[in-house]
């Protein structure tokens, strides 16, 4: 089957097997290896990406289901060498221990903050419940998401829209 999909702002048209998972397409065909294969059962959330602006576990989506859609991966968040505010907050709050869950956590956190720009600690924990951290770094992850919410609050700096079709994420902070 032929699909056309825009990934991190670049449009690709490829022949794919009908049973190919989106995570396989992103990693194996496009080299987007920041999208991590974790459990292959959609339990861990390490493979979370945005599909038309909403987080999905790419191990539970077929590549053909993304035909005509826009996909944003962890690699597509930084702009002009500047980290996305959520990426920067994870860095600044040491919310990345081994780093395996980090891409999925960041992608889910961005979706969470788009829906709830001022989440409580409980709301963050609930919003991330489908993403697992094996290092038990949840305290720092929750702290990072709440810090990112502060950074993204209107008047705190450049605003960040939901990363979706036609939207651009503006980064604050810098470095890696």
* Nearest-10 crossing angle of helices 85-92, 102-115: 120
pLDDT digits (tens, 9 = 90+) for 51-65: 999 999 999 999 999
Listed in sequence order, the residues at least 6 apart from 144 whose beta carbon sits closer than 8 Å to its beta carbon are 86, 89, 90, 92, 93, 95, 109
Q: Please state, as a whole number, how many other Cβ atoms lie within 10 Å of the Cβ of residue 166.
A: 7
Query: Which H/E stretch holds residue 10?
Result: strand 10-15
> Can you list the domains of the chain with their CATH numbers?
2-76 (3.10.20.30), 85-152 (1.10.150.120)
* pTM of the model as a whole: 0.86
Residue 161 Ramachandran class (φ > 0 left, ψ -120 to 50 alpha, else beta): beta
pLDDT digits (tens, 9 = 90+) for 109-161: 999 999 999 999 999 999 999 999 988 779 999 999 999 999 999 876 554 44
Cross-strand partners of 21: 62
Give mean pLDDT, residues 55-82: 97
């Amino acid at each position: 089957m032929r699909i056309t999909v825009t990934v991190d702002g670049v449009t690709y048209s490829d022949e794919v097997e009908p049973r190919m998972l989106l995570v396989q397409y992103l990693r194996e065909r496009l080299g987007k290896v920041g999208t991590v294969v974790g459990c292959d059962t959609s339990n861990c959330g390490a493979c979370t990406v945005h599909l038309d602006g909403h987080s999905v576990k790419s191990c539970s989506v077929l590549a053909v289901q993304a035909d005509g859609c826009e996909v944003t991966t962890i690699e597509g968040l930084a702009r002009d060498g500047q980290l996305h505010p959520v990426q920067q907050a994870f860095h600044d709050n040491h919310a990345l221990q081994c780093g395996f869950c980090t891409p999925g956590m960041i992608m889910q956190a961005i979706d969470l903050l788009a829906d709830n720009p001022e989440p409580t600690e409980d709301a963050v924990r609930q919003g991330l419940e489908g993403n697992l951290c094996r290092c038990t770094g949840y305290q720092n992850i929750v702290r990072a998401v709440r810090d990112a919410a502060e950074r993204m609050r209107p008047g705190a700096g450049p605003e960040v829209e939901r990363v979706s079709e036609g939207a651009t994420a503006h980064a604050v902070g810098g470095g890696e």
